[in-house]
């Protein structure tokens, strides 16, 4: 699996596991929602700074985005449609 595919797989997997919508993650990570969608669909090539903000927002180490999925693992599912995401708090430094 190529690096962009790994990042897409893992960002989506972690986001869905935590029940966070693309919109909520994008807002908290200070990126456009369509850009985040492009990362998950492998059509965008994010900078390390963007990946770092997403990782901080998801409270994971940046290396989590480069873990290979187990052989035969099903792609990460999507959140139910129509679900109102619980917006997480924006971190302040």
Q: Number of C-alpha atoms within 13 angstroms, CB side, residue 60? A: 19
Domains of the chain: 3-66 (1.10.260.40)
Cβ(91)–Cβ(31) below 8 Å: no
**Helix (H), strand (E) counts: the chain:** 4, 0
Q: What is the pLDDT of residues 17-76, one digit of tens each?
A: 999 999 999 999 999 999 999 999 999 999 999 999 999 999 999 999 998 887 877 777
Q: Report the alpha-carbon distance of residue 93 to residue 90 in Å, rounded.
A: 10
Alpha helices in 1-93 (DSSP H): 3-17, 22-29, 33-40, 48-58
Q: Report the alpha-carbon distance of residue 53 to residue 81 in Å, rounded.
A: 26
- Specify the DSSP class assigned to residue 88: P
């Amino acid at each position: 699996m190529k690096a962009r595919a790994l990042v897409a797989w893992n960002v989506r997997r972690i986001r869905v596991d935590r029940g966070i919508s693309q919109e909520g993650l994008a807002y908290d990570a200070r990126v456009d929602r369509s850009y985040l969608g492009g990362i998950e669909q492998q059509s965008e090539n994010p900078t390390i700074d963007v990946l770092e903000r997403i990782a901080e927002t998801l409270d994971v180490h940046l290396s989590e985005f480069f873990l290979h999925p187990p052989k035969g693992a099903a792609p990460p599912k999507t959140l139910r449609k129509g679900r109102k995401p619980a917006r997480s708090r924006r971190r302040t430094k």
